[in-house]
């Protein structure tokens, strides 16, 4: 597998690309493998795309909270697959901004390695668990960032009014039936690029006017020339790098795309519905 990525990196390098993003192959570019892949390019920089994917995930959730009246500071967020690259970056962002953060992973040693010493702060209660179903059922906002090749749940598993951001590829949540109008399930971590693109069928995305956050990262880094922002390490991305990539993304016209999945585009009618549920929940 690594040799195929190396080959692709060498090809892009020879064609004159200045940055290559590894996207869904992030996990194999951690640690020693990351160094091997990055060395395959002589001039081109290699980045894992985690930063922009996480930034677009967070920005999408903030926007949707505004649309639906969910107060982040009062909410419970569950991150399913928090031990991964995107999961850790999102967890770091939400750490002191929500009421409760539930972080799941298959491997409890990893969970403890990354989050075991996170204090129970004044603002946020942190819970670590390997029970995805528990975390899914508890949360107002659920972020899926696992590398699972199978879907992990369906729409019945969420509580009324839930916002479900599915960053995973292949998708972690099945939208095969989609009968509920009291939740929002959308493909997250994506960016709407400036200008028009025609590719949705090829890349498995819900629409033409969106690309994977990791692709957006490579483009924005190249346009801005902030090559020092490229990441291929397994530790947390420094906040300064995240700031620079966010700046580059928005400066060059990338925005949060419409909230949608393969079967539905959400509109203000859907958001008003959620708003009503959130309002009723608050009065209880
Ligand atoms: N939207 C985008 O632009 C974009 C960009 C990059 C990546 N992605 C997708 O986003 C997802 C996360 O990417 P990543 O780079 O953060 O991957 P990663 O570093 O490999 O992390 C994935 C994490 O998911 C965990 N996991 C796997 N199955 C699980 C399960 N059943 N329950 C709980 N945790 C589980 C893994 O834990 P273990 O350690 O136990 O394996 C791992 O920590 C992937 O599906 C990737 O394809 C999307």
pLDDT tens column, 128-137: 999 999 999 9
Q: Which atom of ligand 1 is nearest to the CA of 88?
A: 16
Which single residue is written with the structure tokens 């608050």? Answer: 282
The first and second tokens of residue 121, run together, are 């702060």
The first and second tokens of residue 84, run together, are 């991964």
Q: Which atom of ligand 1 is nearest to the CA of 191?
A: 3
**Residue 238 confidence (pLDDT) above 80:** yes
Residues 45 and 59 in one domain: no
C-alpha dist (Å) from residue 161 to 75, 107, 114, 187, 235: 12, 30, 30, 17, 34
**Residue 101 confidence (pLDDT) above 70:** yes
Looking at per-residue pLDDT, the higher value among 34 and 151 belongs to 151
Residue 26: which pLDDT band, with cuts at 50, 70 and 90?
Answer: low
What stretches of the chain show up as alpha helix (H) in DSSP? 2-14, 31-39, 50-68, 85-94, 108-115, 132-138, 200-203, 213-224, 239-251, 268-283
Q: Which atom of ligand 1 is nearest to the CA of 87?
A: 16
C-alpha dist (Å) from residue 279 to 267, 270, 274: 19, 14, 9
Indicate whether 198 belongs to any domain. Answer: no
Residues 151 and 237 in one domain: no
Report the sign of the C-alpha dihedral through residues 217, 222, 225, 231, in that order. Answer: positive
Residues 81 and 164 in one domain: yes
**Residue 156 confidence (pLDDT) above 90:** yes
Indicate whether 93 belongs to any domain. Answer: yes
Rounded to the nearest angstrom, the distance between the alpha carbon of 279 and the centre of ligand 1 is 33
Q: Is the pTM of this model over 0.75?
A: yes
189 in ligand 1 pocket by Cβ < 6 Å?
yes
Predicted pLDDT at 242: 94
Residues 124 and 220 in one domain: no
What's the mean pLDDT when you consider all of the chain?
90
Residue 34: which pLDDT band, with cuts at 50, 70 and 90?
Answer: low
**Residue 27 confidence (pLDDT) above 60:** no
Rounded to the nearest angstrom, the distance between the alpha carbon of 81 and the centre of ligand 1 is 6
Nearest to 79 by CA among 36, 27, 136, 156: 136
> How many domains in the chain?
2
Note whether 261 and 200 are within 8 A (CB). no
Indicate whether 237 belongs to any domain. Answer: yes
Indicate whether 113 belongs to any domain. Answer: yes
Predicted pLDDT at 157: 95
Q: Which atom of ligand 1 is nearest to the CA of 106?
A: 40
**Residue 28 confidence (pLDDT) above 90:** no
Residues 265 and 144 in one domain: yes
Residues 147 and 278 in one domain: yes
**Residue 29 confidence (pLDDT) above 70:** no
**Residue 284 confidence (pLDDT) above 90:** no
Rounded to the nearest angstrom, the distance between the alpha carbon of 67 and the centre of ligand 1 is 27
Cα 89 from Cα 93, distance rounded (Å): 6
Residues 263 and 149 in one domain: yes
Rounded to the nearest angstrom, the distance between the alpha carbon of 130 and the centre of ligand 1 is 14
Q: C-alpha angle 38/3/46, rounded to 5°?
A: 20
**Residue 31 confidence (pLDDT) above 90:** no
Residue 209: which pLDDT band, with cuts at 50, 70 and 90?
Answer: confident
The first and second tokens of residue 173, run together, are 């949540």
Which range of residues forms the domain containing residue 14? 2-51+213-251
164 in ligand 1 pocket by Cβ < 6 Å?
no
27 in ligand 1 pocket by Cβ < 6 Å?
yes
């Amino acid at each position: 597998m690594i040799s195929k990525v190396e080959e692709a990196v060498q090809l892009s390098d020879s064609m004159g690309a200045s940055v290559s993003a590894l996207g869904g192959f992030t996990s194999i570019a951690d640690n020693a493998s990351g160094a091997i892949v990055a060395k395959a390019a002589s001039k081109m920089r290699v980045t894992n795309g985690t930063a922009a994917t996480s930034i677009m995930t967070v920005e999408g959730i903030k926007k949707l909270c505004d649309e639906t009246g969910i107060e982040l500071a009062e909410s419970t967020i569950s991150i399913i697959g928090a031990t991964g690259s995107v999961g850790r970056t999102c967890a770091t962002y939400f750490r002191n901004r929500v009421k409760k953060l539930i972080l799941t992973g298959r491997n409890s040693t990893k969970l403890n390695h990354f989050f075991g010493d996170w204090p129970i702060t004044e603002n946020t209660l942190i819970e670590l668990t390997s029970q995805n179903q528990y975390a899914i059922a508890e949360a107002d906002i659920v972020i899926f960032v696992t590398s699972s090749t199978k879907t992990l749940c369906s729409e019945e598993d969420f509580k009324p009014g839930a916002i479900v951001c599915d960053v995973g590829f292949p998708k972690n949540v099945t939208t095969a039936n989609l009968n509920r109008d009291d939740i929002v399930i959308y493909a997250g971590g994506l960016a709407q690029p400036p200008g028009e693109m025609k590719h949705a069928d090829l890349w498995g995305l819900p629409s033409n006017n969106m690309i994977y956050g990791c692709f957006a990262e490579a483009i924005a880094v190249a346009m801005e020339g902030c090559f020092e922002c490229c990441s291929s390490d397994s530790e947390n991305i420094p906040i300064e790098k995240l700031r620079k990539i966010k700046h580059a993304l928005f400066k060059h016209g990338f925005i949060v795309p419409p909230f949608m999945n393969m079967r539905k585009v959400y509109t203000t009618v859907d958001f008003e519905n959620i708003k009503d549920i959130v309002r009723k929940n608050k009065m209880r």
